[in-house]
Amino acid sequence: MAVTVGSAARLGLGTLRRLPPPSRPLLRPGTAPAGIVHLGLGAFHRAHQAVYTEEAMARAGGDWGIVGVAPRSTDVVEALAAQDNLFSVTTTSAAGCDTRVVGSLTGVRHGAGDPAAVVALLADPAIRVVTLTVTEKAYQLDPATGRLRPDREVAADLRTDRPPATVPGLLLRGLLARAAAQGPPLALVSCDNLPANGHRLRGLVEQSLAYARAPEPLVGWIQAAVTFPGTMVDRIVPASTPQTLATARRALGVADLAAVTAEPYRQWVIEDDFPGGRPAWEHAGAVLTADAGPWERLKLRALNGVHSATAYLGALAGRETVADALALPHLATVLRRLLAEDVAASFTPPEGVSVVAYGEEVLARFANPAIHHRTLQVAIDGSQKLPQRVLHTIADLRARGRSARWAALVVAAWVRFALGYADDGAALPLSDPLAGRIRAALAAAPDTPAGAVDALLALREVFPAEVAEDDEVRADVTDWLTALERHGVAATLAGAR
């Protein structure tokens, strides 16, 4: 019998035949045996890797069903479990929208609720690929250096026998169990917006093994049998809202409590280093390469850096969504100068790619009126995002003897955001794993723009010495913050040279 929500039946195997044919999954759900474990069941995974993997299996076959693990939240696990692991993706733009149910998820687990099951999955010989979208902060690495800095929870997971409750803990236990069983090799694939995400994930595993004082033979097995391909992932997928669910229900005729909305654009560049095989993701449009580094730098600096700029300046100016923020007078001009004068001059892009042309496409994507991506959503966890999005641009420009004025504006906007008030005096929330340290540093600082800048640039886990101790950078950030505090975003942008 179909479960009903309100007056509508619920999405599930029993209601698939009611869906309009173009909205049905490409695969018969539940028929592909599991080959992938994915950690992080957020909207981004559902609209990105799950879609690529379904298309790859539909075109080229393979036992690559995904078991999705939500490390913490239970809502998405409950919603998917009640829907036979089915959910829909609505692709939306000014041209209209299109909704399709995805059939690549074969199971769901709650990490903190059932850690033993997750550890067993990571050791299961059928699993040959583990992907992650757990957000930057879950890695517990200093954003500037990649050094493991475990909080109490992670330390307890790594140093005691308690059931693991954190991502580093689940990974460590799973890999040790796999090593003890001498299982088949495995690729561990970060799909988070970290700098050199493959190296960062390898660093997390190696530092966790050392911190846990893991036995040498098991460490040796992991070093030999586990690879860490780097990736660049891209698709704008805002957090789902009641509106998302209403859209899905209209399109499907049944209720989908795990529905997501995404922009049409998507990109995935993956280093091809999979010792146990992989889905034929190239059949779904992914680019397999020997080095994802140039693509990753392009995306982190020219998309995510510009996203953060738009989010902080937009939130300060009282704009709710990224698209609304982009409509602020002069903002697009300033972002184009950031792209052309700073980002493009800071690194060598992938062959044949123009950073300026890529940036134009990014701005057009941000302007998509059908994507309600909140500035406050992009603004969260700034301490974890700024290094790879903005500070690397600054460091590389300065190493080339150039100034970094536009990138300094983004840092100033973040400092002003952290001070907690928008231009109209409305309070702004600081959601950040370093919020306590940031607030304490600001509270102890002189109440001047220079005081606030010095206080936050002193956070060494975020700002490397070469940036923080660069007098020109400090002066630029302080000038911009002074302008933002005195005149507000609108006048600062209008007068920006």
Residues that bind ligand CS2 (CB under 6 A): 193, 234-236, 304, 307, 377-378, 385
Whichever of 54 and 234 has its CB closer to ligand CS2, that residue is: 234
Whichever of 186 and 323 has its CB closer to ligand CS2, that residue is: 323
State in angstroms the smallest separation of the CB of 406 from ligand CS2.
18
Asked if 204 and 139 count as a contact pair (C-beta separation under 8 A), the reply is: yes
Which residues on adjacent β-strands are paired with residue 107?
Answer: 67
Selection from 168, 154, 152 nearest residue 203 by Cα: 168
State in angstroms the smallest separation of the CB of 276 from ligand CS2.
27
CA 393: distance to chain centroid?
19
State in angstroms the smallest separation of the CB of 365 from ligand CS2.
9
Helix or strand run (H / E) with residue 130: strand 129-132
State in angstroms the smallest separation of the CB of 90 from ligand CS2.
16
- Amino acid identity of residue 298, one-letter, is L
State in angstroms the smallest separation of the CB of 292 from ligand CS2.
14
Whichever of 110 and 235 has its CB closer to ligand CS2, that residue is: 235
Asked if 136 and 109 count as a contact pair (C-beta separation under 8 A), the reply is: no
Asked if 67 and 109 count as a contact pair (C-beta separation under 8 A), the reply is: yes
Whichever of 58 and 353 has its CB closer to ligand CS2, that residue is: 353
State in angstroms the smallest separation of the CB of 261 from ligand CS2.
12
State in angstroms the smallest separation of the CB of 233 from ligand CS2.
6
State in angstroms the smallest separation of the CB of 80 from ligand CS2.
21
Residues 274, 132: Cα–Cα separation, whole Å: 15
Helices 152-159 and 197-211 cross at an angle (nearest 10°) of 60
Whichever of 15 and 304 has its CB closer to ligand CS2, that residue is: 304
Which two tokens mark 15? Answer: 């209601």
Asked if 449 and 478 count as a contact pair (C-beta separation under 8 A), the reply is: yes
- Which are the contacts of 293, defined by CB distance < 8 A and separation ≥ 6? 196, 230
Residues 439, 419: Cα–Cα separation, whole Å: 8
Whichever of 133 and 208 has its CB closer to ligand CS2, that residue is: 133
Residues 424, 224: Cα–Cα separation, whole Å: 57
Q: Cβ-count burial of 128 within 10 angstroms (0-12 exposed, 13-18 middle, 19+ buried)?
A: buried
DSSP state of 139: G
Burial 339-368 (b: 16+ CB within 10 A, else e): bebbbbbbbebbeeeebeebbeebbebbeb
Whichever of 128 and 137 has its CB closer to ligand CS2, that residue is: 137
Whichever of 366 and 480 has its CB closer to ligand CS2, that residue is: 366
Whichever of 221 and 406 has its CB closer to ligand CS2, that residue is: 406
- Amino acid identity of residue 497, one-letter, is R
Whichever of 377 and 482 has its CB closer to ligand CS2, that residue is: 377
Phi, psi angles (nearest 5°) of residue 272 = -85, 80
Whichever of 221 and 347 has its CB closer to ligand CS2, that residue is: 347
State in angstroms the smallest separation of the CB of 430 from ligand CS2.
15
Residues 139, 205: Cα–Cα separation, whole Å: 10
Residue 132 three-state SS: strand
Residues 137, 245: Cα–Cα separation, whole Å: 28
Whichever of 45 and 178 has its CB closer to ligand CS2, that residue is: 45
State in angstroms the smallest separation of the CB of 235 from ligand CS2.
5
Place of tokens 């209403």: 246
Which two tokens mark 62? Answer: 């393979």
Phi, psi angles (nearest 5°) of residue 289 = -145, 170
State in angstroms the smallest separation of the CB of 251 from ligand CS2.
23
State in angstroms the smallest separation of the CB of 23 from ligand CS2.
24
Asked if 99 and 88 count as a contact pair (C-beta separation under 8 A), the reply is: yes
